[in-house]
């Protein structure tokens, strides 16, 4: 009402005021109003989720001078799907575990930070699969048998690279096929348990989904290794992989005695609604009844959370956005840890990984002994993915332990001891994640992916799934956060920089 009275007063006085004095005073008044409106909105940005992508976005906002942001984090920690836990007296990684890539044309920011903080990690040597692959009913495959299956997998990958280059060369066409289709075109579709096991290791172990549903064009050649190099390093440090996230956060958030206590990070806030119906303002509502408003919101939850409906939108997101979210994939990659009273498996160089070939694809196929990473721990880790992950999550831990022990007894004999402890992450069952990392599904176009990461008015989207090359990786989340911050900063600058010439002539 006060604003209206001011305007009416100026309208009455316009007739009495002459020349440039009137124009000058009106211009000053409009600048004052714009400045007042801009200063009244606080915070400028709400960031939903304090995983790698959200933490990276906030750092870039901070570095660009935007410091009035808040985090709404559903859990009681930062890091998201980068998450260590204690198991059998050791810090193990339930989520992200490997630092990827050394020696490539670009430096991986995750590896560079790990090196800077001296994060304890170990080179993963995959070169001895030929000697450490076991049959369903026990006994090793011969080196010649395994090498033949590896040669077939290498032939499939080489052929896939050639096909991918041909498809990518088609200007203006988003042609694609599945990895399985490429294998069939190469006349090398895996059929035997051994061939399926090697195929699982080559593709499911990287994408968390099978070649049947995975894009050829966007997976091959593998961007992570093309950009950064092919070496992998397994993190085994008491500070956890998440110390990389904290290292970034410490550059702009307050810590006391190594504990995050910045008031801008609000934990245990489960966002249930994002209301962007009021032009220029977004309201975020949480399950405990809190409401927060800002000029923009950055959403960093996984694509699985966006698909689940945990967060609703008012108004409903446009169809192009909902479709882009619905059609992307979030894989499930489950690392099961087992503690034993003693070692009964080979240790030493060339024994770190061993494989089990079952007629059911991915059935306790991919094993790792952790003697190098955790000396004297007597811990084994086995990885399952996709439907096997869902099945394992849904059943009691004791049943999973019994299944794993049956496999181990096929490999090492009946007299081995039972596991004394077991740890099974349940990423799919957790409503705050719904999986581990994204996978590009066959037929999903670049246009759809652009829609996936595109903002809707002042609602912005980030996360590893929004990076067109490095989706599925922590470094992809890192870069995606930076992109979202830049987009938001452009919006904020536009709001804070009114077109004074337009205001001037509007009043005149």
For residue 118, the domain's CATH number is: 3.90.660.10
Same domain, 265 and 213: no
Task: Give per-residue pLDDT as tens, 367-392.
Answer: 999 999 999 999 999 999 999 999 99
Same domain, 227 and 367: yes
Task: Give per-residue pLDDT as tens, 79-88.
Answer: 999 999 999 9
Q: What's the pLDDT at 40?
A: 47
Residue 45 has pLDDT above 60, yes or no: yes
- CB of 272 closer than 8 Å to CB of 288: no
CATH of the domain at 289: 3.50.50.60
According to DSSP, residue 456 is labeled: B
Same domain, 76 and 213: no
Same domain, 209 and 344: yes
**Does residue 405 sit within a domain?**
yes
**Residue 164: which domain range?**
98-238+333-423
Same domain, 287 and 308: yes
DSSP, collapsed to helix, strand or coil, labels residue 308 as helix
Q: Any residues with CB less than 8 A from the CB of 111 and at least 6 apart, and which? A: 99, 100, 101, 102, 228, 233
Q: Which residues pair with 292 in a beta bridge?
A: 284
Same domain, 63 and 182: no
- CB of 305 closer than 8 Å to CB of 487: no
What is the C-alpha to C-alpha distance for residues 98 and 113, in angstroms, rounded to an integer?
13
Q: How many domains does the chain have?
A: 2
Same domain, 126 and 187: yes
- CB of 259 closer than 8 Å to CB of 249: no
What is the C-alpha to C-alpha distance for residues 39 and 12, in angstroms, rounded to an integer?
29
**Does residue 19 sit within a domain?**
no
User: Nearest 5°: CA angle at 437, between 433 and 439?
Assistant: 130
Same domain, 364 and 315: no
pTM of the model: 0.90
Give the residue-averaged pLDDT of 313-333.
98
Same domain, 64 and 196: no
Average pLDDT, the chain: 91
C-beta neighbour count of 456 within 10 angstroms? 17
**Does residue 37 sit within a domain?**
no
């Amino acid at each position: 009402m006060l604003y209206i009275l001011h305007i009416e007063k100026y309208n009455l006085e316009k007739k009495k005021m002459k020349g440039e004095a009137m124009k000058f005073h009106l211009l000053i008044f409009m600048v004052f109003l714009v400045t007042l409106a801009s200063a009244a909105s606080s915070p400028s940005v709400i960031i939903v989720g304090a995983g790698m992508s959200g933490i990276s976005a906030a750092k870039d906002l901070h570095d660009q001078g935007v410091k009035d942001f808040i985090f709404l984090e559903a859990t009681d920690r930062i890091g998201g799907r980068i998450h260590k836990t204690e198991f059998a007296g050791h810090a193990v990684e339930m989520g992200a575990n490997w630092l990827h890539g050394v020696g490539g044309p670009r430096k991986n920011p995750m590896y560079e930070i790990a090196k800077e903080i001296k994060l304890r990690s170990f080179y993963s040597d995959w070169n001895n699969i030929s000697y450490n692959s076991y049959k369903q009913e026990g006994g090793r495959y011969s080196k010649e048998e395994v090498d033949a299956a590896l040669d077939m997998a290498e032939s499939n990958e080489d052929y896939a690279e050639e096909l991918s280059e041909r498809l990518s060369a088609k200007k203006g066409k988003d042609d694609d096929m599945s990895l399985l289709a490429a294998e069939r075109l190469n006349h090398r579709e895996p059929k035997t348990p051994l061939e399926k096991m090697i195929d699982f290791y080559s593709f499911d172990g990287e994408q968390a989904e099978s070649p049947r549903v995975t894009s050829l064009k966007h997976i091959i050649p593998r961007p992570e290794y093309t950009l950064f190099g092919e070496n992998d390093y397994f993190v085994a440090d008491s500070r956890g992989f998440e110390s990389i996230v904290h290292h970034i956060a410490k550059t702009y958030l307050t810590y006391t005695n190594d504990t995050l206590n910045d008031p801008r990070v609000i934990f245990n806030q489960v966002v249930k609604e994002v209301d962007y119906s009021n032009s220029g303002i977004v309201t975020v509502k949480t399950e405990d009844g809190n409401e927060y408003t800002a000029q923009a919101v950055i959403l960093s939850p996984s694509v699985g959370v966006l698909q689940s409906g945990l967060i609703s939108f008012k108004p409903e997101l446009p169809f192009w956005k909902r479709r882009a979210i619905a059609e992307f994939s979030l894989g499930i990659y489950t690392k099961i840890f087992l503690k034993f009273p003693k070692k009964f498996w080979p240790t030493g160089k060339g024994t770190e990984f061993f494989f089990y070939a079952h007629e059911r694809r991915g059935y306790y196929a991919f094993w790792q002994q952790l003697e190098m990473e955790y000396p004297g721990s007597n811990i084994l880790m086995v990885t399952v993915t996709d439907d096997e992950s869902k099945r394992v999550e849904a059943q009691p831990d004791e049943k999973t332990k019994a299944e794993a022990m049956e496999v181990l007894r096929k490999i090492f004999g009946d007299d081995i001891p039972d596991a004394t402890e077991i740890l099974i992450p349940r990423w799919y069952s957790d409503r705050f994640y719904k999986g581990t990392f994204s996978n590009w599904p066959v037929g999903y176009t670049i246009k759809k992916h652009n829609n996936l990461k595109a903002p809707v008015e002042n609602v912005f989207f980030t996360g590893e799934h929004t990076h067109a090359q490095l989706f599925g990786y922590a470094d992809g989340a890192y870069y995606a956060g930076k992109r979202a911050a830049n987009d938001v900063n452009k919006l904020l600058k536009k709001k804070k920089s009114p077109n004074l010439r337009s205001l001037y002539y509007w009043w005149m």
